[in-house]
Amino acid sequence: MKLRDLSSYLESIAPLSLQESYDNSGLQYGHFDSEITGVLLSLDVTEEVIEEAIAQKCNLIVSHHPLIFKGLKSITGKNYVEKTLLKAIQNDIALYAMHTNLDNVLHHGVNQKFASKLGLQNTSILQPISGNLNKWVVYVPASHLDLVRNSLFAAGAGHIGNYSECSFQTEGTGTFLPGTGTQPYSGKEGIRSEEPEYRLEMLVPEYKKGSILKALLSSHPYEEPAYDIIPLHNSNQDTGAGLIGELPEAIPFEDFLAVIKKNFNTGVIRYTNGPDLIRRIAVCGGSGSFLTRTAISRRADVFVSADYKYHDFFDAEKKIRICDIGHYESEISTLEIFYEKLTEKFPNFAVIFCKTNTNPVHYYT
Question: In this structure, how many other beta carbons lie within 10 angstroms of the beta carbon of residue 152?
Answer: 26
User: Taking CA 203 as the corner, what is the angle to CA 199 and CA 208, rounded to the nearest 5 degrees?
Assistant: 120
Alpha carbons 300 and 246: distance in angstroms, whole number: 9
**What string of pLDDT tens digits covers the 365 residues of the chain?**
899 999 999 999 999 999 999 999 999 999 999 999 999 999 999 999 999 999 999 999 999 999 999 888 999 999 999 999 999 999 999 999 999 999 999 888 999 999 999 999 999 999 998 888 999 999 999 999 999 999 999 999 999 877 899 999 999 999 999 999 898 988 898 999 999 999 999 999 998 999 999 999 999 999 999 999 999 998 888 899 999 999 999 999 999 999 999 999 998 999 999 999 999 999 999 999 999 999 999 999 999 999 999 999 999 999 999 999 999 999 999 999 999 999 999 998 899 999 999 999 999 87
Pick 132-232's CATH classification: 3.30.70.120, 3.30.70.270, 3.90.1070.10, 3.30.300.90. Answer: 3.30.70.120
110-128+240-325: what fold? 3.40.1390
What's the pLDDT score for residue 46?
97
Displacement of CA 6 from its chain's centroid (Å): 16
Alpha carbons 130 and 188: distance in angstroms, whole number: 45
What's the pLDDT score for residue 95?
98
What's the pLDDT score for residue 335?
97
Cβ pair 147, 219 in contact under 8 A:
yes
Pick 3-99+333-353's CATH classification: 3.40.50.1170, 3.40.1390.30, 3.60.21.10, 3.40.50.10490. Answer: 3.40.1390.30
User: Taking CA 216 as the corner, what is the angle to CA 210 and CA 219, rounded to the nearest 5 degrees?
Assistant: 140
Domain boundaries, given as residue ranges, for the chain: 3-99+333-353, 110-128+240-325, 132-232
The reported pTM is 0.87
The 8-class DSSP code of residue 36 comes to P
Q: Please tell me if the domain spanning 3-99+333-353 has the same topology as the one spanning 110-128+240-325.
A: yes
What's the pLDDT score for residue 130?
86
